[in-house]
Every structure is written in structure tokens, then in C-alpha cells.
Amino acid sequence: MTSRLLRYVLAGCAALIAGCGSDQTATTPPPTTVPDKPPTAGQLAQMRSTAAAPFFWLGQRYAGQRLTRATFTATDPPDSIFQYGTPTCKAGVGCNYDLGVATLRDREPVTTQLCWRRLGPALVLGCDQATALQVYTGAVEVFLSSRAARPARAALALRLKTRGTATGPRLDGLAAPKPFTCEEAKRFPADFRARLPASLAPGACPGS
């Protein structure tokens, strides 16, 4: 689970956002040694204006690393991936990025890390030494991962961009998480499900 999400966020895995703003379905491109071009200001503006619900990123530059790749699916809530830093590309493998931030509708916890903390009204899953954190806010999961540095500080700088409005780095853009559905909870081991925070625990599920 952890390695799948890390690959998904740190590596290029979906078509770069296009200017038309129509739904972009995430697909895995063939490996390449040529990194994507950074998104233009116009593409970012189109992404914000077509978003039906919040998605998260770290701005056009974070901790000295510029935004170098962005993908977006205009669903409700949207799926998005923002990648930062100079990509490292290898023939037959593809390109990896230094830092990734993904807003995902498919909430799937990293079950090997049982360290919970609060981030404003949101909940964070991930231990201090982790290279990945998951922030649960509203109906989405915000997944932060880094090849080198711990992403905990990045979580504090999450910026909400929706409907063309830049709120800046603040925590009140994060909402309390919605409980996991029974369908989502089926993916978790029983011992992990038993240790979920009350705000994330599903109600009575059939066969539980």
C-alpha cells in the first residue's frame, strides 16, 4: 500500500492538465526520460475555475522547489497531483519528483503507520520519521510524500485552491473528516479498524 501511493505521487502517472478544463481521466503513460513541462498560469487558473470541490497543493513554489508537474481530474471531489522539484528520470522507469501532494477521493490508509495527530479540524496519519503523511479532511485524503525530507512541515503549509480563490497557507481551509464508509473500511485489517479515531470510524457495517 505505502509503496503504491509513493510511486503514484512521486512519479508521473497521469496526463498533464489540458487547457480545455474537461474531465481528465488518470492513466499511466509509458516510461519516459523526458519530464513533463510545468503547468502554465492559464492551466492552473482553469483548474481552479472548474473545480467543483476543494483540492490542495503547496503553491507554485515550496521550500525552494518549484511546481514542476500537475495533473487534475475535474470530478466532485476532484483528484489532483502536484509534484515539486527537479525530476530524476531513468530509461525504462520514468521520472520521479522530490515532493508530491495528491488530493484523492479514494481514501486508503497506510496501515503500517498508526500515528494519529490533529491538523486543525483534520486528522493526519503518519509517524514523525515517515516519508509520507495522509491528511483526512472532508471526503478526501491529501497524501504528501517526499523522497528525502519528512513531509510533516509541508502538511502545515497546505494551501486550498478552489473556484479561483487563493486562501494562502492556513488551517481553516481544512475541514473535519467524514467517517469512512463500510466499503472503505472493508479494506482495512480488523486491528486497524478497531483503532480508528471516533471521527473516522464507520457506523455499524453488515457482517461486522
Rounded to an integer, the average pLDDT of 92-104 is: 84
pLDDT band at 112 (very low <50, low <70, confident <90, very high): low
Q: In the prediction, which pLDDT does 136 show? A: 93
In a domain, 201, yes or no: no
Q: What are phi and psi of 43, to 5 degrees?
A: -65, -40
Would 19 be classed as within a structural domain? Answer: yes
- The pLDDT assigned to 2 comes to 41
In terms of pLDDT, which residue wins out, 19 or 190?
190
Q: What is the mean pLDDT of the chain?
A: 74
Name the band, by pLDDT with cuts 50, 70 and 90, for residue 9: low
Q: Flag whether 63 is in a domain.
A: yes
* Dist CA 48 CA 191 (whole Å): 39
- Rounded to whole angstroms, the maximal C-alpha distance in the chain is 50
pLDDT given for residue 171 in this prediction: 65
Task: Indicate the SS3 state at residue 75.
Answer: coil
Residue 205 within any structural domain of the chain: no
Instruction: Give a yes or no: residue 120 inside a domain.
Output: yes
Question: Does residue 202 lie within any of the structural domains?
Answer: no
Question: For residue 109, how far is the Cα from the chain centroid?
Answer: 12
Domain count, the chain: 1
Does a structural domain hold residue 200? no
Q: 197 phi and psi, to 5 degrees?
A: -60, 150
Helices vs. strands in the chain: H and E counts, helices first: 5, 13
CB atoms within 10 A of CB 128: 8
- Which residues are paired to 102 by β-bridges? 81, 143
- Asked if the model's pLDDT at residue 80 lies above 80, the reply is yes
CA 161 to chain centre: 13
What is the band of 123 on the pLDDT scale with cuts at 50, 70, 90?
A: very high
Contact 172, 120 (CB under 8 A): yes
What DSSP designation does 134 have? E
pLDDT at 122: 92
Domain that holds residue 64: 2-194
